[in-house]
Amino acid sequence: MRQRAMAHDFISMIALILLTSRVVAADLAADVEKVLREIRQDQPIPELAYLRPAEPVNADCGYFLGRYRAIEISVETHPNSPRVASILLRIPGPDQTQWILPAVTRVIGPPHSSDPKQSIHGWEWPKYRTASVHYAGQGATDAGFTIVSLFYR
């Protein structure tokens, strides 16, 4: 009888862990979608509490850094313009591409190319505009980053 109760407790604990990880992934996807809807390419850089000016990387461009919950954000403007040129979102930890891809797709459309086994999804549009969702692993023992990038080549 005691073994049965322990097995039930163990199964309940595993179910709770799986449910919790799905809820966290759903929250992360909603956060990615929110950030991508608020910071739009070729639109003026919005005033957001989680985004602050930083030292520019390129001459005549604005550069902004921020963090929205688990998402690290970098934004650069076009030269001599307040309009957003590139957006980089970094999510530290294990590969989250499968969880956030639907959110990115809702904002920018379905990927033009995908390699799910390698956790790589890409977009290319006219006038040198590209985007990607991919995982950048750091090695066998260290967690990497799930990356969402929209930029001009």
Q: CB-based burial of residue 96 (10 Å sphere; 0-12 exposed, 13-18 middle, 19+ buried)?
A: buried
Taking the C-alpha atoms of 116, 120, 121 and 123 in order, what is their torsion angle to the nearest 10 degrees?
A: -150
CB–CB of 62/45 below 8 Å? Answer: yes
pLDDT recorded at residue 20: 42
Please give the pLDDT value at position 33: 97
Task: Look at the chain and report how many structural domains it folds into.
Answer: 1
Report the C-alpha gap between 20 and 18 in whole angstroms: 5
Q: What is the pLDDT of residue 127?
A: 84
Residue ranges of the chain whose pLDDT lies below 70: 1-26, 138-142
Provide the pLDDT for residue 22: 45
pLDDT at residue 5, rounded to an integer: 61
Block residue for tokens 């739009």: 40
Q: Domain range for residue 74? A: 2-152
pLDDT number for residue 53? 97
